Structure 1
Amino acid sequence: MRRIIAGLAALTLVVAGAGCGSGDSGGDTGGGGVDKVKVGIIPIVDVAPLYLGQQKGFFTSRKIELTMESGQGGAAIVPGVVSGQFQFGFSNMTSLLIAQTKNVPVKVVANGVASTGQAGKDFGGVAVRKDSPITKAADLAGKKIAVNTLKNIGDTTVRESVRKAGGDPGGITFVEMPFANMPAALQAGQVDAAWVVEPSLSAVTAAGGRVVAWNYVDAAPDLTVAAYFASTKLIADDADLVKRFTDAMNESLTYAGAHPDEVRAVLGTYTKIDPAVRASLTLPKWPTTINRASVETLAKLGAQDGIFAGATPDLSKILP
């Protein structure tokens, strides 16, 4: 669970180089017309459908041979997709909106993961220690809160939780750290609260911690959190490959949503999540349709909180 967008400003160099034809336009074609495709991912619960789809043959039936590579979050995955290192990548929507405002030539090709839309039953939230005086979202005003990446989907949605509860988010101090480090930091009192996602969320609650804000739920109904994307060059040069990947991804998302036990099992093939935690953690939703209204909300929140450096995201250039 690594940084998702830290250092995205460095993409300016990648964009400049992208016009020079670096990287292949599509996957390498193996014997029998099979495309060898690399997907840049972060090895977290969110990408379980991709691994499950690979296991079930949804990609091989469409002549795609998948290889997943872990990137250092969006800061590595986005430029990796632009350069051709990866044919497809996974990133949260706010990171992709930031990329779009910097004119990075990428576009969403399939949905990734969504909030459950249910307070009390989501895969991410703002948690505090069991002995914390903080009991509700409004109490987070003026506090020190851990997020995995500054100026991204975490702090913008946390601020919205505070606003909706009648608090002032202006005085919040956000501290950047990996999700995996947050349970210990919270327990040690290094931060007042932490925005955690599964399985770190389960680790916090197992230690007696309490969730005081469900920030994805507060931000927008059925929030689209992340998506799979490709470079605009690949989309233009190999539309057939992109369509096959999208179709396979949609089948994978649908299958994952209908087979939670198989999702929990496949998590054991690419993460080190304890089996007992895998059995009980809250899974996200995996719809095939992107909730455009929720992405518009993320764009508005990001603009309100100044993470787009004065630019306005153009959703028509990033969403399919």
Structure 2
Amino acid sequence: MIRRHRITRLLAAACVLAAAAGCALSGEQPPPVEAPPQVEKARVKVGVLPVVDVAPLHIAIKNGYFEKEGLEVETVTVQGGAAAIPSLIQGGLDITFGNWVSFIGTESKGDAKAVGGIKLINDGYQAKPGMFLILVKGNGTIKTMQDLIGKRIAINTLNNISELTTKAVLEAHNIDPKRVTLLAMPMPDMEAAIERNSVDAGFMSEPFISKAQRNSGQLAILDAASGPTDGIPIAGYGTTGDFARQYPNTVAAFQRAMAKGQRDASDRATVQALLPDYAGVDRDTARLVHLGEFPTSLDAKRLQRVATLMQTYGLLQADLDVAPMLVRNDNK
């Protein structure tokens, strides 16, 4: 019986070899694997924030996805999309992470017209409940959303996704957004500012939410990713029209690497393991963070929702079609 099995395996192996020899004799060759086009710019400066949202980029760096595309990514920490876009326009950054509100607002005002406008190249983050919270002091006087009337709320930059979602959700709870004061402040500074009463509340994303709750006992008074802003697209990566036109292979390579990073970020453990390295949180806090969605493709219809809300709440003065801003790479 054992011998019969050995003979069967030998015959099968001989058939495989014969088939391979037949291909060689017939002159047929397996189709060549096409290498991606060589990038025009091998080193790119990318603006980032120390927040969960950019985990896919750090995953792509760590796993060598950019390196395989012939790219070296230099990360530059920025305060927010609104602060990073001027640097993008002036050439200090090649690509930047930013919220869609800032990108769309810049395009609508024509502020980037001299550099070919703003182009959106990668989706980054989409809202889920619990990931965009307005926090207040745990032992303070603010107990309900109505208590926010007349108070000061810190947001990382003005005219961005924080302002849009705050206004939308306040209004959904019958609070006139004009009856609160929004103050620009770096997100890492908000926890301490609330504790010393420099502001009354802070609009935070992760990991700053979990840090403030764990370290200072701060409480969530409002979920800014709820009601009219439930599931709203938050942020992604943009560049200028001039950069996209001058370095198309570089942009496509960046998109391919990021698509892999976005895909890997669907695994919570992968994101959680990286947070202590780039977001400055301890591992216990990293285990507590609320995660949003990491989309793997750009969708004009989804982003148009942001432009519509912007017009509703006065952050956009006229209709804007988002579709022409997108630079798609179908070869992912």
Give the TM-score, by structure 1 length.
0.79
* Residue 266 of structure 2: aligned partner: 257
Instruction: State the secondary structure of the residue aligned to 2:320.
Output: coil
Instruction: State the secondary structure of the residue aligned to 1:257.
Output: coil
> Residues 123 and 283 of structure 1 are in contact (CA less than 8 Å); yes or no, is this contact kept in structure 2?
yes
Equivalent residue in structure 1 for 2:123, among 100, 111, 116: 111
Letter in 1 for 2:324: K
Work out whether 1:93 is the aligned partner of 2:105: no
CA distance in 2, matches of 1:224, 1:124: 12
CA distance in 1, matches of 2:199, 2:78: 27
CA distance in 2, matches of 1:281, 1:110: 23
Instruction: State the secondary structure of the residue aligned to 1:174.
Output: strand
> Residues 80 and 157 of structure 2 are in contact (CA less than 8 Å); yes or no, is this contact kept in structure 1?
no
Structure 1: gaps (5+ residues): 1-25, 30-34
Instruction: State the secondary structure of the residue aligned to 2:65.
Output: coil
Instruction: State the secondary structure of the residue aligned to 2:225.
Output: helix
Deviations 1:29-57 (A, max 9, x none): 5xxxxx22222222322211111111112
CA distance in 1, matches of 2:140, 2:75: 40
CA distance in 2, matches of 1:183, 1:71: 19
* Residue 194 of structure 1: aligned partner: 202
Work out whether 1:222 is the aligned partner of 2:223: no
> 1:38–1:192: structure 2 CA closer, same or farther, 3 Å change rule?
closer
Equivalent residue in structure 1 for 2:54, among 47, 52, 73: 47
Work out whether 1:60 is the aligned partner of 2:72: no
CA distance in 2, matches of 1:136, 1:315: 37
> 1:83–1:176: structure 2 CA closer, same or farther, 3 Å change rule?
closer
* Residue 256 of structure 2: aligned partner: 247
Deviations 1:208-253 (A, max 9, x none): 2221211123343322111111221222233222222111111110
State the number of aligned residues: 284
- Displacement of 1:314: 3.4
Equivalent residue in structure 2 for 1:80, among 64, 74, 87: 87
Work out whether 1:211 is the aligned partner of 2:228: no
* Residue 9 of structure 1: aligned partner: none
RMSD: 2.5
Instruction: State the secondary structure of the residue aligned to 1:59.
Output: helix
Deviations 1:247-280 (A, max 9, x none): 111111011112x222222223323222321222
- Displacement of 1:296: 3.1
151-160 vs 102-111, greater mean Cα deviation = 151-160
Instruction: State the secondary structure of the residue aligned to 1:280.
Output: coil
Work out whether 1:168 is the aligned partner of 2:180: no
- Displacement of 1:291: 5.6
> 1:72–1:212: structure 2 CA closer, same or farther, 3 Å change rule?
closer
- Displacement of 1:75: 4.9
> Residues 147 and 177 of structure 1 are in contact (CA less than 8 Å); yes or no, is this contact kept in structure 2?
yes
289-298 vs 232-241, greater mean Cα deviation = 289-298
94-103 vs 176-185, greater mean Cα deviation = 176-185
Letter in 1 for 2:246: D
Letter in 1 for 2:108: T
Letter in 2 for 1:254: R
> 1:81–1:144: structure 2 CA closer, same or farther, 3 Å change rule?
closer
> 1:99–1:298: structure 2 CA closer, same or farther, 3 Å change rule?
same
CA distance in 2, matches of 1:133, 1:76: 32
Equivalent residue in structure 1 for 2:274, among 252, 266, 291: 266
> Residues 152 and 201 of structure 2 are in contact (CA less than 8 Å); yes or no, is this contact kept in structure 1?
yes
- Structure number, greater radius of gyration: 2
> 1:149–1:37: structure 2 CA closer, same or farther, 3 Å change rule?
closer
Instruction: State the secondary structure of the residue aligned to 2:204.
Output: strand
Letter in 1 for 2:127: S
Equivalent residue in structure 2 for 1:183, among 177, 191, 206: 191
> Residues 57 and 258 of structure 2 are in contact (CA less than 8 Å); yes or no, is this contact kept in structure 1?
yes
CA distance in 1, matches of 2:150, 2:123: 35
> 1:184–1:291: structure 2 CA closer, same or farther, 3 Å change rule?
farther
Instruction: State the secondary structure of the residue aligned to 1:227.
Output: strand
Instruction: State the secondary structure of the residue aligned to 1:156.
Output: helix
- Displacement of 1:139: 3.9
CA distance in 2, matches of 1:197, 1:159: 16
CA distance in 2, matches of 1:276, 1:170: 38
> Residues 157 and 218 of structure 1 are in contact (CA less than 8 Å); yes or no, is this contact kept in structure 2?
no
Identity of aligned residues (%): 27
